[in-house]
Structure 1
Amino acid sequence: MKALVLAGGKGTRLRPLTHTSAKQLVPVANKPVLFYGLEAIRDAGITSVGIVVGDTGREVREAVGDGSAFGIDVTYIEQEAPLGLAHCVLIAREFLADDPFVMYLGDNFLVDGISGLVDAFRGTDCDARILLTRVSEPRFYGVAELGPDGEIVALEEKPEHPRSDLAIVGVYTFSPAIHEAVRAITPSSRGELEITDAITWLIDTGRRVQSHFVTGYWRDTGRLQDMLECNRIVLEAIETDLGGTVDGLSDVTGRVVVAPGAVVEGSVIRGPVVIGADAKISRTYIGPYTSIGERCVLEDTEVDYSIVLGDSAIRGVSGLTHSLIGRNVEVTRATGVPNTHQLMVGDHSRVQVRA
């Protein structure tokens, strides 16, 4: 069995951060979201992985390499434009050959992995098994309608009046029958080959399409609040590891990771918190559910429930919360009345805030 990982797309909901970075490489607890997916695929026993890339392909290639760091073998597949999920299957035909495969959207975050889905698919003769989860607002998702035996009988894309609360998560398993389906459909009104249309074609032609439910935690990491929530979930499971230097004037409590080369001086850290390699934290308060990237500098600052990417500096800022700060960003104190700040800042930016 193979895997097809989709790592293209524009990431419009995370702009301006994704103007300069692949959305799949935005880190959760200092590890790119895409890496969690690749590890889940490996843990499901799949080692042959095709990664579909677009405009940010160079960055993805540099981050993932040949896959050996994950115990997988990676083949890169170029998509000239975001022409739909089914188009990704179409252009991956040579790589996929006639093998069954799992298709994984690279910005999905699943705590419990995909082994259950893959094992269930391998144990049946269905042509597709689709991962689903119940959501409170199904009109914002692709929605599945089930028959009495758990088979999928219909799909709707962001329906105004949903017939169920079962959202399509973005992880699918397919038999080679899907290749006939993606060749048979035509582009939708938005000019894309939709995977929901291809699955509907399978259903309409009498192929078996089964459902599988998410166990544990799932998020599509396309929005700021989803990134912060995924960060919180991962940090809940960390164990204290003070591999860096923490001086005697600092107060560190709770589960805290200080990576090798990082220095904490005269600061208060309340876990769960992760501080990346070679970061420097001075006279700073870092509150729960915060990830600080490698080589960051924080001085005279207060921050909690936030993600700060590598090589950024924050100096003299208080009340920083629920924020996602990009790479190579500088945030400094501005004169004025103190207040609470909520920031989403793109790479290579410079921001002054009231503090």
Structure 2
Amino acid sequence: MKALVLAGGSGTRLRPITHTSAKQLVPVANKPVLFYGLEAIAETGIQEVGLVVGDTQPEIEAAVGDGSAFGLQVTYLRQSAPLGLAHGVLIARDFLGDEDFVMYLGDNFIVGGIGALVDRFAARRPAAQILLTRVGDPTQFGVAELDGLGRVVGLEEKPARPKSDLALVGVYLFTPAVHAAVAELKPSWRGELEITDAIQWLIEAGMAVDSSVITGYWKDTGNVTDMLEVNRLVLEALEPRAEGLVDEASELVGRVVVEAGAVVERSRLVGPVIVGPGTRVADSYIGPFTSVGADCLVSGSELEYSIVMPGASLTGVGRIESSLIGHHVEVTASLNTPKAHRLVLGDHSKVRIGT
């Protein structure tokens, strides 16, 4: 069995971060979200991975390399534009050959891995096996309709009037039968080749499509709120350790990780918190569910429930919370009067300013 990992999306919901960075490389507990998926695949025993990439290929390739760090052999498959999940299968046809495969969306996060799912598929070998979860707003997802026996009888992509609240999770398993389905597809109203249409083709052709409803944790980390929530979940499993320099005037409370090369001075850190290597925290408070990447500076500031990406600097800015701060961002206090906000914001940014 092979794996196909889709990492070619443009990440419009994470702008402006994704104007300059691949959404699959936004860190969760200081590790790119894509890495969690690659690790889950490696744990199943699968070794050959096709990684579908787009304009951010150089960045993703620099981070993942040949896959050997994960125990994988990675082949990069260039997608000219994000033309749908089924388009990813289409361009991977030669790589996949006639083998079964698991398709994993590179910005999805699933607790507990996918080993049991892969084992079940290998034992039964339906034409397709999908993973479902109940969601509050099905119009934002691919949605499955089940009959009274729990069999999949229909699928729709982001329907205006959903027939159920069962959304497709970003992990699918297929036999080579799916290639015939993909070859017959026409672009949807969104201009994309939809994987839901391919699975519907299999159903209408009389082939078996199995499903499982998961009760564990799953997130599509496509927006800031979900990124922060996944970061919170992963940080809750931290084992405290202080390998960096923490002076006697500082206090570490609870599950706090201070990586080797980090320096904490005259500060209070209340976990779960992780501070990356080469980062300096001085005269500051860092509160729960915060990850600070490598080579950052946090000075004279308060920070909580946030992700700070490598190279960022926060100096004398009071309290920051529920924030995603990009690479090499500088946030400083303004001493100018009268008081005013001075902003440089990317397209589609959302800013909340206290009055």
Q: TM-score scaled to structure 2, two decimals?
A: 0.94
- Alignment match, 1:206: 206
- Alignment match, 1:197: 197
After superposing the two structures, state which structure 1 stretch, 156-165 or 269-278, moved more. Answer: 156-165
In the alignment, structure 1 segments of 5+ residues that lack a partner are none
After superposing the two structures, state which structure 1 stretch, 39-48 or 49-58, moved more. Answer: 39-48
SS of residue matched to 1:170:
strand
Amino acid at match of 2:300: D
Aligned length: 347
- Alignment match, 2:171: 171
CA deviation string 1:144-163 (max 9, x = no partner): 01123332110122222211
Give runs of aligned pairs for residues 321-340 of structure 1, distance below 5 A.
321-335=321-335
Amino acid at match of 2:82: P
- Distance in 1, matches of 2:336 and 2:108, equals 40
1:2 aligns with 2:30: no
After superposing the two structures, state which structure 1 stretch, 297-306 or 188-197, moved more. Answer: 188-197
SS of residue matched to 1:232:
helix
- Distance in 2, matches of 1:190 and 1:137, equals 19
Amino acid at match of 2:236: E
- Alignment match, 2:103: 103
Amino acid at match of 2:210: Q
- Alignment match, 1:130: 130
CA deviation string 1:317-354 (max 9, x = no partner): 112000000001000012489x9x9x9977xxxx9x99
Give runs of aligned pairs for residues 44-59 of structure 1, distance below 5 A.
44-59=44-59
- Alignment match, 1:299: 299
Moved segments of 4+, more than 3 Å: 343-346
- Distance in 1, matches of 2:164 and 2:192, equals 25
SS of residue matched to 1:211:
strand
- Alignment match, 1:150: 150
- Distance in 2, matches of 1:39 and 1:256, equals 24
- Alignment match, 1:239: 239
- Distance in 2, matches of 1:136 and 1:105, equals 21
- Alignment match, 1:78: 78
CA deviation string 1:167-216 (max 9, x = no partner): 01111000000000000111112221111111110011111111022242
- Distance in 2, matches of 1:67 and 1:344, equals 37
- Distance in 1, matches of 2:211 and 2:308, equals 37
1:333/1:354 contact within 8 Å kept: no
1:20 aligns with 2:20: yes
2:77/2:92 contact within 8 Å kept: yes
Report how far residue 112 of structure 1 moved: 1.1
CA deviation string 1:68-116 (max 9, x = no partner): 0001110110011111111110110111000000000000001111112
Q: TM-score scaled to structure 1, two decimals?
A: 0.94
1:324/1:345 contact within 8 Å kept: no
Name the Cα RMSD after superposition.
2.0
CA deviation string 1:241-270 (max 9, x = no partner): 101010000011110000000000000000
Report how far residue 237 of structure 1 moved: 0.3
1:5/1:104 contact within 8 Å kept: yes
- Alignment match, 2:272: 272
- Distance in 1, matches of 2:240 and 2:18, equals 31
Inter-CA distance 34–48: structure 2 relative to 1 (3 Å threshold):
same
- Alignment match, 2:36: 36
Amino acid at match of 1:26: V
Amino acid at match of 2:128: A
Report how far residue 118 of structure 1 moved: 0.8
1:325/1:344 contact within 8 Å kept: no
- Distance in 1, matches of 2:344 and 2:19, equals 12
Inter-CA distance 45–118: structure 2 relative to 1 (3 Å threshold):
same
Amino acid at match of 1:258: V
2:157/2:194 contact within 8 Å kept: no
- Alignment match, 2:120: 120
Report how far residue 140 of structure 1 moved: 1.7
